[in-house]
Amino acid sequence: MKKYYYVLLFLFGFFSKCTTVNDSSYKNNQASENNSYELIWQDEFSYNGLPDSTKWSYDIEGNDWNWGNNELQNYTYSRIENSFVDGQFLHIIARKEAFEGKEYTSTRLITKNKGDWLYGRFEIRAKLPKGRGIWPAIWMLPTNWEYGDWPKSGEIDIMEHIGYMPDSVFASAHTEAYNHIIGTNKTKGLFLPDCEAEFHNYILEWKENEYKVYVDSIEFFVFKKESDDFRVWPFNKSFHLLLNVAVGGNWGGLKGVNDSIFPQEMLIDYVRVYQLKN
């Protein structure tokens, strides 16, 4: 869900660095059970209606410029057709419908200024939408952009999924030194053939000198601090969470959009944030 274009070199990086899961051990293991962490923020979605406004806001600022990725959707504000909670799950729904000059709608929820963290463990249990043209993501951006615009202040992608690659999810790091625009991107894919049919825990463990991404018990992406230079490690400032389902775009729409798939939704069972004790 970047602010700049995906290029083919970025995609080639995915295919050359993909981890395969060939057993079922990841399905029932929650990697969050670690006594060194304590729960500090959560949304269990055990209520009904719109997402809790004390925890979530709607990001609509990029609709006019297609979010820098040539995305096709209009992210809406406080519209129950695109996001709601049913007492058990958060639903983020992409629809094929004309709305304010575009042909698709969806939602981009953020915790900015309501949940902002420096380091910690982030666990999001989700089931992903499917179909050619869908591009859901669970990710983090800097709250204050102290080092400058993207990619200087960094981006952490916990999970991205592309509808025309239904058996895989991806994790990435973006910095000034490491990003797809200059062909130095740090990204890895995980073979996860049931990600559209089953819930999985998408987990980030972010510490002072590295961060790791897991799916359930499988650690499949690690980004390490190489120096104090913010161009390689801007991850020493507060970040916030984002949850969204995009339609089309430079990566999600690389093979077009199948309009027969809509509506499509990402289901979120819970979001939990932990930090190290003491």
The Cβ-side half-sphere exposure at 53, using a 13 Å CA radius, reads 5
Burial of 227 (0-12, 13-18, 19+ CB in 10 A): exposed
Is residue 205 annotated as part of the catalytic site, yes or no? no
Q: Whose structure tokens read 């969806």? A: 106
Q: Which two tokens stand for residue 13?
A: 């990086």
CB atoms within 10 A of CB 4: 14
Identified catalytic residue from 123, 160, 196, 205: 160
* CB burial of residue 13 (10 Å; 0-12, 13-18, 19+): buried
How far apart, in Å, are the Cα atoms of 155 and each of 19, 141, 168, 278? 22, 5, 20, 27
Residue 274 sits at the vertex; the CA angle it makes with 175 and 45, to the nearest 5 degrees, is 100
Q: Which of 155, 196, 205, 265 is catalytic?
A: 155
Q: Known catalytic residue: 81?
A: no
Other Cβ atoms less than 10 A from the Cβ of 93: the count is: 22
Residue 136 backbone zone (phi > 0: left; psi -120 to 50: alpha; other: beta): beta
Nearest alpha-carbon partner for 195 in 272, 140, 134: 134
Q: H-type helices in 91-136, by residue range?
A: none
Residues assigned a catalytic role? 155, 160
